[in-house]
Amino acid sequence: MSHSVTTWYLEQTSPADLAPAAEPPAEQGVRIVRSEVPSPEFSRFLYTAVGGDVLWTDRLAWPYARWAEYLGRPGTETWVAYERGTPAGFIELEAQPEGAVEIAYFGLLPAFRGRRIGGHLLAYGTARAWDLAERWPERSETKRVWLHTCSDDGPHARANYERRGFRVCATEVTEEPEAAMPGPWPDAGPLTPAGE
């Protein structure tokens, strides 16, 4: 079986396009840290934990060596949001030719969605895409930050990108095979406290 999937490509072409987001309350203890040591284990954990319920499958078959090679490339960065020391989500930046930086992946673990972390992480990560050349002198200055999202992603994904100043620059519709939820395990997500 297959289903129709709409993919939207969105971009910013100037740092001035970035609209800031409110930070989570201080008592929430949210901080964003760059994962500077390439770690296939950690990156695969983030990928499966964030993408399991929105059908991220393209990297599931990657062997360890491919993860290590990808993460070790100059201009590839993973920024992780933590809430009181627990990984809550991540944004992965990939420097590309001619001053482009792709937000290759972005998202939150299910239990951390709806807690004012996503907009903050996206705004912070997009700012890091714009100043990426400051950390990678061999890369040219960023001229464009882009990403794609699709109708299989969370229901608020596209709106979140647009609130941060991204504009749709292309759209495509494809037929995709139905995929089973890949993980991190079946029924992963926030637990409902007893009595609710």
Cα 124 to Cα 131: distance, rounded to the nearest angstrom: 11
DSSP string, 121-185: HHHHHHHHHHTHHHH-TTSPPP-EEEEEEETTS-TTHHHHHHHTT-EEEEEEEEEEE------SS
Kindly list the domain boundaries of the chain, sorted by start residue.
2-177
**Which homologous superfamily does the CATH classification assign to the domain defined by 2-177?**
Gcn5-related N-acetyltransferase (GNAT) (3.40.630.30)
pLDDT values of the chain reduced to their tens digit, one per residue, 196 residues: 788 889 999 999 999 999 999 999 999 999 999 999 999 999 999 999 999 888 888 899 999 999 999 999 999 999 999 999 999 999 999 999 999 999 999 999 999 998 999 999 999 999 999 999 999 999 999 999 999 998 888 777 899 999 999 999 999 998 877 765 555 555 554 444 433 3
Q: Collapsing DSSP states into helix, strand and coil, what is residue 41? A: helix
Assigned token pair, 85: 């020391």
Q: What is the pLDDT of residue 185?
A: 53
* Three-state DSSP string of 99-124: HEEEEEEEEECHHHCCCCCHHHHHHH
Helix (H, G, I), strand (E, B) or coil at 89: strand
Kindly report, residue by residue over 55-106, the tens digit of the pLDDT: 888 899 999 999 999 999 999 999 999 999 999 999 999 999 999 999 999 9
Cα(190)–Cα(177) distance, integer angstroms = 27
